[in-house]
Structure 1
Amino acid sequence: MAPRLSGFTRASSLGPISEFMDRHGGSFTRALRNVDLPFAILEQPDIVIPLREQFRLLEKAARETGDPYFGARLGQAVKGRELSSFGAWVCSADKLDGAIRRAHAGLNTMLQTSTVLTFTRRGSKVRWSIEFVEPETEGRHHNEFLGVSYMIDMIRGYAGRTWRPDVVMSVLPAGSPRQALEEIFGTNVLHGCGVPAIEFDASLLGRLSCEASASSVDGYLEPRVPRQSDVVATIKSVTELALHEGYPHIKWVASKLGTTGRSLQRWLDMHGTSFNRVVDGVMETQAKDLLRQSEISVTQIALRLGYSDPAHFTRAFRRWTGMTPSAYRSEQR
């Protein structure tokens, strides 16, 4: 049976979390350390991280700030257009119904897997829901409120910045306190629902964009988010994440996928490869990119990739390509 691995999301889906925590008395750096994620996600929002790790990070951030509704409050600062190229593409649709169709079509390939958007229309009302198909529970409700907030912000690009849904539907237990959440969202909150959702008037679907920059989209498109069914691509993505902190180790990669090193290696064996080969491929790709696209020295590249000295890096690079790093750089230029 195929393994059930974590879904992925881009670091951009966390919105302005670092600045937000600074303003609310918390340390994002400390929260990152607590979940053992690389600091690179602060500077490279296109990085993909396991969705389960984002849940955990939001939970740590909530504890840092002492805010039980951290995800909902952070959600008031997010902008759908800043959700990588995906958000810009969605928000550039002429009408709201087109933006919603784009969100459904591109979410799982451009931004985030393990996530299901559902749209239903009942008479004059529309219900738009978001469900995270992840076994991880710690921090889940923070991510759910954050996801709902992105949906609300996207609609505001067509309905106006002061718009609010008729109701925000929550999966928190029925009878949970509502006042704080209703103050945050500025509308009614209904607990005890099957999935997080918002309801609004169907007449908004035909609204034209009210944002002047809606027609402009950055032409850059990120690589696709790895499919959960692709075991090798999933493991490779977490290995790339590990590389931001030095040489990747199987125990760390396995822990981020919610499994053990032995199970991870067994899955790779079933696909005709090994963890060492995955690391080799990731290191080679990163080394070539750095040599082509940057001016940093070979020694700096070696250290960034986790090698103890340039000689070890040069030997590895010669094994990959048949030439030295300096020769490769000269040839590419």
Structure 2
Amino acid sequence: MAPRLSGVTRASSLGPIGAFMKDRGGSIERVLRNCDLPYAILEQPELIVPLREQFRLLERAARDTGDPYFGARLGQAVKSKELSAFGAWVCKAETLGDAMTRAHAGLNAMLQTSTVLTVSLHGSRARWSIEFIEPETEGRHHNEFLALGYAMDIVRVYAGPHWRPDLVMTALPSGSPRSPLEDIFQSEISHGHAVPAIEFQASLLAHTVHTAQLMPGHIDETREPPIPRQSDVLATTAAVTELALQEGYPRIDWVAAKLGTTSRSLQRRLSECGTSFADLVDGVLSRHAKSLLRDSGASITDIALKLGYSDPAHFTRAFRRWTGTSPSAYRQAASAI
């Protein structure tokens, strides 16, 4: 059985990482180059990124800033309501308990796969844990701390902006230093757990939205592409191909590497699904081309370059193959409609 592909997440889950790094003397541009990821993930938070690549990016960001607790500090700067439509939808729930129920129900469909949220009661305390079902280890603890930061912010929507958990449980080795993390989280730290979690008074589950944390009334989900199911090879590959397109014409070796597999293995799996990488790329490029021709005033030359073609003639030939008409004729017809 072929190993499964990497889980995925929205670029929005990185929070304000660009400004955060700049404030600490780092360079997000340098880190993105090092990770071979497009700068577009900072400008288009709806883009889908392989989860393993987010792990790596956080690890390189920690090295770039010289901060071994980078993920934990970034996690204290994030806001759940900015975490795509998912975060806004979760924090519109009536009570914290309802919000956590929404988070569990919507996470894999709206924001991130390969991730499991669990809540359990331990006497008077509630424990909210998060587990990443990914084999990658590089940068994993940074992503775990970032996720705990989002969980804490959701609780603060209901408990107030100055709330802190009673206990933060980490998956770091039991002998790891606790003081640096206690300073960051302003909470008691316990290491050596199977999965990271936060503990707090269970009575908070009934709290309604804190007045200082009221959410805007409108949630716009129209700009967000759907999150592909973990088992959907075609949709997952197409989503990462969309990411590759931000840097030029998509290459199978780049897409395969980001998904944690090889070009040959990915091509084989696509063949089993009745398609090829070339056909999949054609579908992605065709959708983008039609959208740009309909909805933007960009010239055909600019659209060709944006889609990774060396000149408009190559783009025009490809567009005729996809649609049976030229880009200019398609635009004219779309404008008339």
TM-score scaled by length of structure 2: 0.97
Deviations 1:14-47, CA, capped at 9 Å, x for gaps: 0000000000010000000001001111110110
Counterpart of 1:102? 102
Q: CA deviation at 1:289?
A: 1.0
Q: CA deviation at 1:240?
A: 0.8
Pick one of 293, 296, 301 that aligns with 1:294.
296
Read off the aligned partner of 2:214 and give its amino acid letter. Answer: S
Distance 2:101 2:192 in 1: 27
Matches within 5 A, 1:1-333: 1-211=1-211, 213-214=214-215, 216-221=217-222, 222-333=224-335
Distance 1:173 1:13 in 2: 26
Tell me if structure 2 keeps the 8 A contact 1:110–1:224: yes
Deviations 1:260-309, CA, capped at 9 Å, x for gaps: 11111111111111110011111101101111111110000001111111
Distance 2:220 2:34 in 1: 36
Q: CA deviation at 1:252?
A: 0.6
Which secondary structure does the structure 1 equivalent of 2:246 belong to? helix
Which secondary structure does the structure 2 equivalent of 1:144 belong to? helix
Could you tell me which runs of 5 or more consecutive residues in structure 2 were left unpaired when the two chains were aligned: none
Q: Which range moved further: 257-266 or 52-61?
A: 257-266
Deviations 1:128-185, CA, capped at 9 Å, x for gaps: 0000010110000000000001000110010011100000000000010000000000
Q: CA deviation at 1:230?
A: 0.6
Q: CA deviation at 1:99?
A: 0.6
- Equivalent pairs counted in the alignment come to 333
Tell me if structure 2 keeps the 8 A contact 1:254–1:261: yes
Q: CA deviation at 1:3?
A: 3.5
Distance 1:273 1:4 in 2: 18
TM-score scaled by length of structure 1: 0.98
Could you tell me which runs of 5 or more consecutive residues in structure 1 were left unpaired when the two chains were aligned: none
Tell me if structure 2 keeps the 8 A contact 1:78–1:150: yes
Q: CA deviation at 1:76?
A: 1.0
Read off the aligned partner of 2:217 and give its amino acid letter. Answer: S
Identity %: 67
Read off the aligned partner of 2:132 and give its amino acid letter. Answer: F
Deviations 1:68-93, CA, capped at 9 Å, x for gaps: 00000011110011000000000111
Q: CA deviation at 1:196?
A: 0.4
Distance 2:118 2:332 in 1: 52
Distance 1:131 1:258 in 2: 19
Q: CA deviation at 1:224?
A: 1.8
Q: CA deviation at 1:215?
A: 6.0
Tell me if structure 2 keeps the 8 A contact 1:89–1:217: no
Tell me if structure 2 keeps the 8 A contact 1:110–1:223: no
Deviations 1:102-146, CA, capped at 9 Å, x for gaps: 100100010000000001012211000000010110000000000
